Amino acid sequence: MAIRVQREDFDVGRELDALSVGNRRVGGLCSFVGLVRDMNEVAGAKSGVEAMTLEHYPGMTEKQLEEIEAEAHRRWPLEASLIIHRYGRMEPGERIVLVATASPHREAAFEACHFLIDWLKTKAPFWKVEETDDGAARWVEARDSDDAAAARWAEKAGGSL
């Protein structure tokens, strides 16, 4: 298990190689990379995004990510997992997050990766501010669709984190 909260970018290929190198039990490696988009939809209207700044509370953020990652290891037979989440100011096209899981079985790798990104999106303490193309700064609100995605994993486990 590995968690990093960092300002600097990361090399996806290098990170994925490191996750499974030397472990011949790994039969499936699944990953998700989240990027900054150049637009956002608020109240049905699309607006351009020039940049996004992510803030976090050091210590609290890592602790919550560790709990989320530990839950994935309780639910699926994982050999390894990785969460890298960036903070600071980023522009469209830049990488924000990498979630990766390695398991002897592809289904476990897929499900655990999906679980991690869904729960990370709703339960990890990150705050986002978007700079729009009209010069405004706007806090990014939680979406009902993200809550619904996370809730289905709670239902599958019979509880919540």
Structure confidence by residue, pLDDT tens digits, 119-153: 998 889 999 999 988 888 888 877 777 778 778 88
Q: Is 3.90.1170.40 the CATH classification of the domain at 2-154? A: yes
Q: Under 8 Å CB-to-CB from 9, ≥6 apart: which residues?
A: 86, 94, 95
If you search the block for the tokens 């992510």, which residue do you land on? 54
| pLDDT tier for residue 159 given thresholds of 50, 70 and 90 | very low
104 phi and psi, to 5 degrees? -65, -25
d(CA 56, CA 85): 10
Average pLDDT over every residue of 152-157: 73
**pLDDT (mean) for 107-114:** 97
For 30-88, how does the pLDDT look when each residue is reduced to its tens digit (9 = 90+)?
A: 999 999 998 876 655 577 899 999 999 999 999 999 999 999 999 999 999 999 999 99
